[in-house]
Structure 1
Amino acid sequence: METLTIVMIALFVLFALIVMRIPIALALLAAGVTGLFFLRDADYSLETAAHIAFDTPARYVLIVIPLFIAMGIFAKHGTFAQDAFDMAGRLLRKVRGGLAMATVLTCAGFAAVSGSSVATVASIGPLAIREMRRNGYSVTLAAGVVGAAGTLGVLIPPSVVLVLYGIVSGESIGALLIAGIIPGILSAFMYFVAIYFWGFGNSALFVSEKEAQIAAAEEPPLPRRQKLGWTVGAYTLARILSLMTVVVGGIYTGIVTATEAAGLGAIVAFIFFLIDTVRGREGFWRPFRQATLESISLSSMVFALLVGAAVFTFFLVLAGVPAMLTTWVTGLAVPDVLIVVIILLAFIPLGMFLDPISMLLIAVPLVHPIVTGMGYDGIWFAILVVKLIEIGLITPPFGMNAFVVAGASRHVTVEQSFIGIMRFLPVDLLTVALLFMFPPLILWLPNLMM
């Protein structure tokens, strides 16, 4: 059987299983084993899958994933979201669209201590949407701000997606994390500008007495213990700065590796989690148990995806697919920059149907060697890919963040969530264009670090 036919069979198996709602990890594993079976034989395919299933999780560098996940989960189960939103609201309360900007700022701060988009939306969403609606903000705008700003969790370090990108592509994990800082700040700034100017053109988005009355009837005000003063605001700022100093500062200065920084960050996050539980009323063991189980569950899912992707990638390499693609693409009679643009734009429809990690594990092993083979910087391309993965998180019909927003706030529908998030899509595309046209926005900090 010809190699191309075998590759088509494996791809058919992969997409058929995805359509059947089989977990992506199992779909990748099954497709890889099927391809290896037709390339060699049954014994070879099963033995290879068994070896990869043992060797992949045993790689030392992968310890960074559960450590970063634990850091984010401890932040989620503490009081960080409430404290950070209160502080940001106080700082921006007199600015047009201040609560929406405070939500963006809070999501950026939470992203800096969690590294997860879903955790950011789930933690900030209920609090921010409730307060924005009670202050007269449109429910679609409130949902859109949370869903769009939540995507900062996959760009601002410590980002689990950037870590996985480094593992899959071979790029420096430390350089990737540092490279996400300026694009993350730029993304948040672009949201700020958009919110501010929307206030001039459509005041009903920010001042709706009807919405405020509906929200006041549906949801009670925040408990008094959550109306925090400047002392707790300073404590919240100390948490952000401490974790960023340990993780980002440690990697940037070269004092610690990315793996060591993840371990230190998890320890610092646990200390703050311990302080939060002492301040709260639930006690320690119940939130600790929830955080531990959630960390284990999420880490297991990521490792399962890594094993499935490793088997599928091994099959593709053995079949010579990356080499064939590289030869074909570089032989096209079009400018290289147009090829890169087409590759990047392809991530938008992918994001409509796949979650970020699955998209990264399937596509990056194929396209990253092509782009770097044409002479483009791998770090620059990686940040652009991750930014487009962000856009996939908010793109219908399966934009994950829209569903998480609707699930986190019982008074927001999926339709309202998508309507609000779509306001931010042009803003994100403009940010991608700026990062594409001005590579120093991405490469300046990593080059200084190196």
Structure 2
Amino acid sequence: MSGEIIGLVCIAGMLGLIALRCPVALAMAAMGFLGFGLIVSFEPAISILGSGPFEALSNYSFSPIPLFILMGVFATKARMSSEMFSAARTLFGGWRGGSALAAVTSCGLFSAISGSSLATAASMSRVAMPEMLKNGYSPQLASGALAAGGTLGIIIPPSIALLLYALITEQSVGDMFMAGLIPGILGLALYCAAIAVQVWLKPDLASPSEPTSWGQKIRGLAGLGPFAGVFAFIIGGIYWGIFTPTEAAAVGAALTMVIAFARGMSLRDFFASIEETIFTSAMIFFMIIGAEIFGYFLSVSMLSQSLAGFVVDMGLPPFAVLLSVLLLYVLLGCVMDGMAMMLLTVPIVYPLIVQAGFDPVWFGVVTVIAVEMGLITPPVGMNVFVLKAMSPEINIRDMFRGVMPFVMSDVLRLGLLIGFPSLALALI
């Protein structure tokens, strides 16, 4: 068999293993080893099993990953999410749907520290969901706002998904972070607009929040200062060249640790944060190792190059190629973790996009937003099921109904980014 045929068979086998609940990392490594052995020989394939993990784990470029994870874990252990929600709720005091607006806003702020959609959704739902239900909010609106707000963790920098995309495609991490800033803020604004439109059309979805004075609003804004300061310091430092992304991750983790201790984090919570960071980092690096081995196989199979040539020969318009790839991401996002999906698919689809003439940095942002949409899209949006685990009393159908206005907001954001690529590229 040709390398391309072996490539397709091994990819099908990998998807079959994943469907059988085999860990994604193990499925990639196993099929990568088998495919490389069939195309080249098994002796060099065995040597790759030894060299691949070393090359992945010793790559300095991957060092920001555990540091950004540690930053998010510190924020969670120190219960920063509750302080963010309380401060944001004060800002929206007196507004109908103010608590939902506060939940989405605090999700956006927390995601700038966390970098993870699932962690953002889980942390904020513990704080905001009981408060909204107690104040008479529709479970549909409350769950939709939190599930959608959680997805901001994957796009607002510093984002682990953007970091991984940059490393896979050899783009500048700083450029990727800056490219994600405006689309992330745009997503937050569109989510707030979706809430405002819903409560305007159906006022019974939410009650007005307790009015607050301008003095209280200013104090609430000041309460968000430390968290916004960490975000601004990290992104500003990268943008102005004060430090590298790795140094930014270290500085961010240190600043978040200081804030966490100042807000009562105990030594027990500190060591628990280190332990959780180790477990999460190990899981991600296991996937990176699997992707490294699978990447060797893709290189020798020439599958990506053949697919790119096939698309060119078909004469498909560039936007048809783009929309097909985005649809694939939305569908896969329903059933697969975002980082696993990117490690699995980007090496395959990236040559297609470059061949079609799209900017790789812009495509990275569009890809992450498409993955983000999959996290809240029926039938298996992962963020929705995280919320269901946190709030089992809410019907899953109500949750999916609640996220649909936010899915439409994401469709609008994707359309704006496709129509106006400068939204992602203006700050680079």
- Say whether residues 1:137 and 2:124 are aligned partners: no
* Mapping of residues 188-199 of structure 1, within 5 Å: 188-199=188-199
Unaligned runs of 5+ in 1: 209-228, 279-283
Task: Show the counterpart of 1:183.
Answer: 183
Between the aligned partners of 2:40 and 2:357, the Cα distance in structure 1 is: 34
Q: Deviation of residue 164 (structure 1)? A: 0.5
Task: Show the counterpart of 2:345.
Answer: 363
- Aligned pair count? 422
Task: Show the counterpart of 1:348.
Answer: 330
Contact 2:4 2:306 in 1 (8 A): no
Q: Deviation of residue 343 (structure 1)? A: 1.7
- Say whether residues 1:395 and 2:377 are aligned partners: yes
* Mapping of residues 211-222 of structure 1, within 5 Å: none
Contact 1:83 1:232 in 2 (8 A): no
Between the aligned partners of 1:98 and 1:331, the Cα distance in structure 2 is: 53
Q: Which amino acid aligns with 1:205?
A: L
Q: Deviation of residue 322 (structure 1)? A: 1.4
Contact 1:83 1:233 in 2 (8 A): no
Q: Which amino acid aligns with 2:338?
A: P
Task: Show the counterpart of 1:276.
Answer: 263
CA distance 1:231–1:186, shift in 2 (3 Å): closer
Task: Show the counterpart of 1:324.
Answer: 306
Q: Which amino acid aligns with 1:66?
A: P
* Mapping of residues 6-405 of structure 1, within 5 Å: 6-207=6-207, 233=220, 236-277=223-264, 284-405=266-387
The one-character-per-residue Cα deviations of 1:63-91 (angstroms, maximum 9, x if unpaired) are 01001100111011113111111111111
Between the aligned partners of 2:173 and 2:112, the Cα distance in structure 1 is: 16
The one-character-per-residue Cα deviations of 1:145-183 (angstroms, maximum 9, x if unpaired) are 000011000000110111011111111111101111110
Between the aligned partners of 1:241 and 1:430, the Cα distance in structure 2 is: 27
Contact 2:143 2:403 in 1 (8 A): yes
Q: Out of 432, 435, 439, which is 2:421 matched to?
A: 439
Q: Deviation of residue 410 (structure 1)? A: 4.1
User: Superposition RMSD on alpha carbons, in Å?
Assistant: 1.8
Unaligned runs of 5+ in 2: 209-215
Contact 2:3 2:300 in 1 (8 A): no
Seq. identity, %:
36
Between the aligned partners of 1:152 and 1:69, the Cα distance in structure 2 is: 16
Q: Which amino acid aligns with 1:393?
A: L
The one-character-per-residue Cα deviations of 1:44-69 (angstroms, maximum 9, x if unpaired) are 21211221111111000110100110
Q: Which amino acid aligns with 1:411?
A: E
Contact 2:375 2:381 in 1 (8 A): yes
Moved more, 341-350 or 84-93: 341-350
Between the aligned partners of 1:260 and 1:289, the Cα distance in structure 2 is: 22
- Matched position secondary structure for 1:326: helix
Contact 2:150 2:383 in 1 (8 A): yes
Q: Deviation of residue 275 (structure 1)? A: 1.1
Between the aligned partners of 2:335 and 2:405, the Cα distance in structure 1 is: 20
Contact 1:13 1:30 in 2 (8 A): no
- Matched position secondary structure for 2:427: helix
Q: Deviation of residue 2 (structure 1)? A: 2.3
Q: Deviation of residue 99 (structure 1)? A: 1.0
Between the aligned partners of 2:97 and 2:54, the Cα distance in structure 1 is: 52
Between the aligned partners of 2:276 and 2:398, the Cα distance in structure 1 is: 28
Q: Which amino acid aligns with 1:381?
A: F
Q: Deviation of residue 413 (structure 1)? A: 4.2
Q: Which amino acid aligns with 1:117?
A: S
Between the aligned partners of 1:262 and 1:148, the Cα distance in structure 2 is: 26
Between the aligned partners of 1:197 and 1:9, the Cα distance in structure 2 is: 48
The one-character-per-residue Cα deviations of 1:22-45 (angstroms, maximum 9, x if unpaired) are 111111111101111211222221
Give the TM-score normalised by structure 1: 0.90
Moved more, 435-444 or 194-203: 194-203
Q: Which amino acid aligns with 1:241?
A: A
Q: Deviation of residue 353 (structure 1)? A: 2.1
Contact 2:139 2:394 in 1 (8 A): yes
- Matched position secondary structure for 1:331: helix
Q: Deviation of residue 125 (structure 1)? A: 0.5
Contact 2:88 2:221 in 1 (8 A): no
- Matched position secondary structure for 1:286: helix
Between the aligned partners of 2:90 and 2:221, the Cα distance in structure 1 is: 12
Q: Deviation of residue 18 (structure 1)? A: 0.5
Between the aligned partners of 1:157 and 1:236, the Cα distance in structure 2 is: 21
Q: Which amino acid aligns with 1:437?
A: G
Contact 2:90 2:217 in 1 (8 A): no
Q: Which amino acid aligns with 1:164?
A: L
CA distance 1:234–1:420, shift in 2 (3 Å): closer
Q: Deviation of residue 334 (structure 1)? A: 2.7
Task: Show the counterpart of 2:213.
Answer: none
Q: Deviation of residue 232 (structure 1)? A: 7.5
Between the aligned partners of 2:135 and 2:329, the Cα distance in structure 1 is: 37
Q: Which amino acid aligns with 2:197?
A: F
